[in-house]
Amino acid sequence: MKDEEPPNTRVRPGRWRPRRLLLRITAWGAGLFVLTAGAGFLYETAARQDDAGRHRPPGRLVDVGGHRLHLHCTGRGAPTVVLEAGLAESSASWETIQRGLATGSRVCSYDRAGYAWSEDSPLPRTAEHLAEELRTLLAVAGEAGPYVLVGHSYGGNTVRVFADRWRDLTAGLVLIDVTDETAGTALLISRPLISAQFTVNQLIARLGLLRLLDDVFVPADATATARAHATVVYGSSSMAAGRAEAWASVDSAAQVRATVRPKAWGDLPVVVISAGGQPAEAVAHARSLAALSARGRLVVADTTEHYVQNAQPDLVLDAIGEVVAAHRKS
């Protein structure tokens, strides 16, 4: 008697061919990606050799103890205005504001460690370390205080810690849509996502895509200087610095919260600028910051853009001029 074949065990001719084809396509795709990525890496490595000559820093490099920071100062007059950029931004983001101020004031912008033309720092990227590096930079560079400190977004952390620690060197504050130091839970949730985005951006730069397709990857509202030097301003080292600061954001927020107390800024002239259309809690936070000084004032911009200094530069220039004039009268 002939044994019966168990049901559903026959392998029909060609049954597995689609799967094999998919595996082959995947393998070929992976190989092509590796080859393309390798070519991009080599292209970017070779192209970087000429960056030092083609993308010279607008300012000078100052040794702050083992690494150098890029400082760009223009104009004359006291008090000196110091511009502090937001997360993943550099001195180039202040181009319009610096040009507008330089006719009547000494104004300095700079790149935090790792960004644009500045070298990396071995220290954690917390607000306290950033403030210490800024203080050292200004002292070594011979830029005398007191300073009107202007901070945008994440840069508000640095200038607020600076003002708390070196009150005698602080002539006034202008805070532009700054980070909310009380949003600890939100920072914990967003930190991995932001860090991942910076990792992707770093890979884009390291594989030469930023250099080849700058129109695609450079922000639409980038200044002329940032666009002209995109491979430096938005390069892989800048993205790594942004990731490090984002990962330190929870510690930075705690350090900033420690500086908050009633009338913490005394009668220091302060203007807090908030972008329009913000949620009620954001407006309340901005108002609470202005209340930390007896001479604090809240200004709500007409624009909903986070980069108020780009969308409404005259508003920001007027606010800085107000604080400079208030210090000169005191």
Q: Is the pLDDT of residue 71 over 90?
A: yes
Query: Greater confidence, 51 or 147?
Result: 147
What SS3 class is residue 282? helix
Contact 191, 250 (CB under 8 A): yes
Look at residue 31 in the predicted model and tell me its pLDDT: 57
pLDDT band at 247 (very low <50, low <70, confident <90, very high): very high
CA 327 – CA 330 distance, rounded (Å) = 5
User: How is residue 25 written in tokens?
Assistant: 């396509």
Look at residue 7 in the predicted model and tell me its pLDDT: 52
Strand blocks (E) in the chain: 60-63, 68-74, 80-84, 107-110, 147-152, 170-176, 269-274, 295-300
Look at residue 11 in the predicted model and tell me its pLDDT: 46
Look at residue 43 in the predicted model and tell me its pLDDT: 47
Query: Greater confidence, 305 or 202?
Result: 305
For 61-181+253-329, CATH gives: 3.40.50.1820
Contacts 24+ apart (CB under 8 A), 266-269: 266/167, 266/293, 266/294, 267/293, 267/294, 267/295, 268/163, 268/167, 268/170, 268/171, 268/172, 268/173, 268/293, 268/295, 269/171, 269/172, 269/173, 269/293, 269/295, 269/322, 269/323, 269/326, 269/327, 269/330
User: How is residue 227 written in tokens?
Assistant: 């666009």
282-306: average pLDDT: 96
CA 218 – CA 166 distance, rounded (Å) = 36
Question: pLDDT for 130-185, tens place per residue?
Answer: 999 999 999 999 999 999 999 999 999 999 999 999 999 999 999 999 999 998 77
Q: Could you tell me which residues come within 8 angstroms of residue 89 by beta carbon, excluding any fewer than 6 positions away?
A: 115, 152, 153, 155
Q: Is the pLDDT of residue 59 over 90?
A: yes
Average per-residue pLDDT for the chain: 87
pTM for the model: 0.86
Residue 81, CA distances (Å) to 27, 116, 126 in order: 57, 21, 23
Q: Is the pLDDT of residue 300 over 60?
A: yes
User: How is residue 37 written in tokens?
Assistant: 């990525």
Task: Indicate the DSSP class of residue 167.
Answer: G
User: Is the alpha carbon torsion for 259, 260, 262, 264 positive or negative?
Assistant: positive
* Closest of 282, 276, 285 to residue 305, by C-alpha: 276
What percent of the chain has a predicted confidence (pLDDT) above 70? 83
281-301: average pLDDT: 96
* DSSP codes of every residue in 49-81: TTHHHHS--SSEEEESSSSEEEEEEE---SSEE
pLDDT band at 208 (very low <50, low <70, confident <90, very high): confident
